[in-house]
Amino acid sequence: MKLTLKIWRQKSASDKGKLVDYKVDDVSSDMSFLEMLDVLNQDLIDKNEEPIAFDHDCREGICGMCSMFINGRAHGPDRSITVCQLHMRSFKDGDTIYIEPWRAAAFPVIKDLIVDRSAFDRIQQAGGFISVNTSGNTQDANGTLISKHAADTAMDAATCIGCGACVATCKNSSAMLFVGAKVSQYALLPQGQIEAADRVRNMVAQMDLEGFGNCTNTGACEIECPKGISLDNIARMNRELMKANLN
């Protein structure tokens, strides 16, 4: 198929940036979206133009590195996938595709489609952990029984890949789905109880400091999340925060 691409080009963080048109021919429906961009980049290199910079690594939907806004949607038109899992069979011959970076004040553009998501790391550093040293002297792993339901729900929250689609798609650029997922994972497990209050307070404070917006329960984040992280996690985070502040 033949496609017209309108891709965001921005030389650096301080550059203004603009959409630039590209044509690609010979796109096979078996290609992944990123492989289609690989083909375009090879073409640009051959023509002595600068290839398009985009983040990607595992190309199997788990590292969370790829991050593109495609035709107005985070990770493109399909549900429950990242860009690297999006295949060209989702598009038709003659389509025009808009490709932009994540847009949020807390995710400044580094170059073209690459943004700086280190704010997510800093939120985790503020409290996204259980304070246990790796001495190997912890109690036996089966020493505390954990109900299958709690373990499974914690796992569902823990599958977050930290890609930032929730922030990119939210009209408020809120990171609450991301933070809620991490808070929930620990809140649901007995190991996480000891520091629960400090954890949620510190993580939320850092989230605010980074400049992420608030949640107005639109639910777009849940729809666009490649891992299907549920809005319940935001509710749980709010409960945890309230609990922490009441004590």
Of residues 94 through 153, those in contact with other proteins by CB under 8 A are 110-111, 114, 116-118, 120-121, 124-134, 136, 138-142, 144-148, 151-152
Element (H, E) at 113: none
For 134, counting Cβ atoms within 10 Å of its Cβ (0-12 exposed, 13-18 middle, 19+ buried), the class is: exposed
Among 39, 197, 235, 241, binds other proteins (CB under 8 A): 39
| Cα gap 175→181, rounded to integer Å | 10
Q: Which residues in the 147-186 window bind other proteins by CB under 8 A? A: 147-148, 151-152, 154-155, 158-159, 161-162, 185-186
The CB-of-58 to other proteins minimum distance in angstroms stands at 5
The CB-of-218 to other proteins minimum distance in angstroms stands at 26
Query: Would you say 38 or 95 has its CB closer to other proteins?
Result: 38
Judge whether 123 and 136 are in contact, CB under 8 Å: no
Query: Would you say 154 or 221 has its CB closer to other proteins?
Result: 154
Q: Beta partners for 22? A: 5
Q: Which residues in the 189-218 window bind other proteins by CB under 8 A? A: 189, 191-192
Query: Would you say 162 or 215 has its CB closer to other proteins?
Result: 162
The CB-of-199 to other proteins minimum distance in angstroms stands at 11
Q: Which residues in the 47-86 window bind other proteins by CB under 8 A? A: 48-51, 53, 55-65, 78, 80-81, 85
Query: Would you say 204 or 215 has its CB closer to other proteins?
Result: 204
Q: Which of 208, 123, 220, 219 is closest to 162 using CA atoms?
A: 123
The CB-of-238 to other proteins minimum distance in angstroms stands at 21
The CB-of-86 to other proteins minimum distance in angstroms stands at 8
Query: Would you say 110 or 241 has its CB closer to other proteins?
Result: 110
Judge whether 177 and 159 are in contact, CB under 8 Å: no
| Cα gap 53→45, rounded to integer Å | 12
Q: Which residues in the 218-247 window bind other proteins by CB under 8 A? A: none
| Cα gap 247→238, rounded to integer Å | 14
The CB-of-52 to other proteins minimum distance in angstroms stands at 10
Determine if 14 is a binding residue for other proteins (CB under 8 A): no
Residues in the interface with other proteins (CB under 8 A) total 78
Tokens 């790796």 found at: 134
Residues 6+ apart with CB under 8 A from 177: 160, 166, 221, 222, 225, 229, 231, 233, 234
Q: Amino acid letter at 219?
A: G
The CB-of-30 to other proteins minimum distance in angstroms stands at 5
| Cα gap 123→232, rounded to integer Å | 20
